[in-house]
Chain A
Amino acid sequence: MTGSERGVMPKTLFEKVWEAHLVREPADESGPALLYVDLHLVHEVTSPQAFEGLRLAGRRVRQPARTLATVDHNVPTGARDLPIADPVSAQQLRVLEQNARDFGVELFGLGSPDQGIVHVIGPEQGATQPGMLIVCGDSHTSTHGAFGALAFGIGTSEVEHVLATQCLVQSRPRTLAVRFTGRPGAGVTPKDFILALIGRIGPDGATGQVIEYTGEAVSRLSMEGRMTICNMSIEGGARAGMIAPDAVTLRYLAGRPRAPRGTAWDRAATEWLALASDPGARYDREVTLDVATLEPQVTWGTNPGMVAAISGLVPNPLRFDSESERSAAERALEYMGLVPDAPLEGTPVDRVFLGSCTNARIEDLRSAASVLRGRRVSPRVRAMVVPGSMRVKAAAEAEGLDVVFREAGFEWRNAGCSMCLGMNEDVLGSGERCASTSNRNFEGRQGKGGRTHLMSPPMAAAAALAGRLVDVRKYL
């Protein structure tokens, strides 16, 4: 969008991207619009029924060049040259290969040096670009909003719809501005910003809304930190999270395989920078959070809004206001095996998982490695690193991070979703407690009966060393 196309009303980043993709305006106030999709990311778990639907209806993929597939949810993260042990998983991977071939869609399959978690590879390839409308049959598609794209998670019927029409039917969300102010103290990461925010607004605090993250604490972040924040927007119920493109965004994208080059780059860069919300643009709601006041965060319950500072206590359900919150907290503590009013720090952990689309990029691995360097994982802990993509893995190995992790006692694995959702063989046993850098602590998420505490990569590294939940600042 150019300046002359913009009306007199100041607009938000969201409004600019939304309006640039309107194929058809909503017929009435509450009705949905028809939006054009620039990039459709596809993975093996939510796509088979969609391709099958196309086949049954005799439809083709409208824009194969705007569609990019990878395998991540289901893939083993052990040795890649062995056959896949689970025949049902193997079938799902085979079906995606077949679908990609039949419909002319590019696939980063198992064995590709570009394979990885769908939300890691989009940005890494430069396929994710500012101002785009991006969808994927996965709720953490919000990750891509870190680039000033509007990125929605969709269901399988919608995946089929986008494959067939390159469009998405979507009602217009409201806007929420989240301003992160202040300078974070040592050991406080973007993961802590977003966990604290979800703790504040609740797991449905942003339902029906698109969040734009603003403020000096966001401007100072790298793209990877911004992705961590946008990634977890969905855990606050938001449809999407966005951050205005700036010099940091351009620096990240320049030279990536799918980023524009030459004069096309110059033109794109100018347009991208113009996407930032205009001064005076109005949001439906605003929330400010001073990150200088934050401590490292850790979840204690069974949704990401059940979170506290590491120096805090396990909450006492009796102190919650409503009956529904009280019973939810009681249920969560029972599931988690925690005692009200006990200190969180010191809770013993059995497993540590460093991975997922939230925190398995190179900076995440670096920040964890810096805590681990020259130290040993507690003998009671089994710890693993699952890089977000094979490229992240290669980059980490080039820096020698794999040696740091291995020497500390971590398993060093291949890329995939792994124990973020436990669809492959990487799962928690019942009652096992895990310090995890992923994004969901739902009951059974990492394995039936498994107990998940979400935290940042440095906090997870510190937990691995101590064999219990611990304040990473003691290790800095």
Chain B
Amino acid sequence: MFEQILWWAGNAAEAFLLLRSFKERLYEKYPAFYFYLAIVLLLQLFRFSVFVLYPLAFPAFYWYTQFLPATVGYAVIIEIFKQGLKSSPGAARMARTVLWGLLGAVILKVVVDALSSPTWSMATSFTGLERNLRTVQALLISVITIVLTLYKVPNSRNLKGIMFGYGLYICASVMSLAFGSLPGNATRPGWRHVQPIGYLAALFIWTYTLWSRYPDPETEEDSKIERDYRLIAEQTSRALSKIRSYFKMGGEL
């Protein structure tokens, strides 16, 4: 019963969000996000019809389509990256470097795992694979969020909502999928509720923040700051080094 309530509430919220996006023309600004929502909604309805018409085929269908939203989720992250850092090329460059480094490390780990484990296969576990996809997403969103925080990059309320809601959902997904991938936990129903509840919470955040279309914050006027980066960095570095040198002089510490 509880699962059904979650399921219907989620579908209703998704349909509502999509309708609002047409009214406010938000889908033009965030196409990947609304594509993701549409995919999730269509998938849910499709699964429901399979469950009613072909109940025996439902488990296999469910697991094989489980990766679709996780994969489309990467498009949402790319959109968050592009939209969130478009006014700050410096911060975007910083984020891009860290993101490439991160992706490189993940790919390296997958290759090393594949070579070192003779029993490794892509379909070792559906839950495990989805968990890994979501974990990489969590790392990517973490990097973008940290860069946005460090450089205080201003963003519209719409984008903040998308990012916060999606981040929260990914966080719930990673934790619940990690717990669920443990032997013996896959059959327990408890951990399965965390992800739908997280998604419903994200839907509420999106409904609140994407109710209307908000303008992007005003961008600063371009100035001499651009050509002076090296000088600024040197001055900051010098200031911090001076402080450090006084600490190094010692004392009672």
- Do A and B come together as binding partners? no
Residues of A within 8 A of B (CB): none
Residues of B within 8 A of A (CB): none
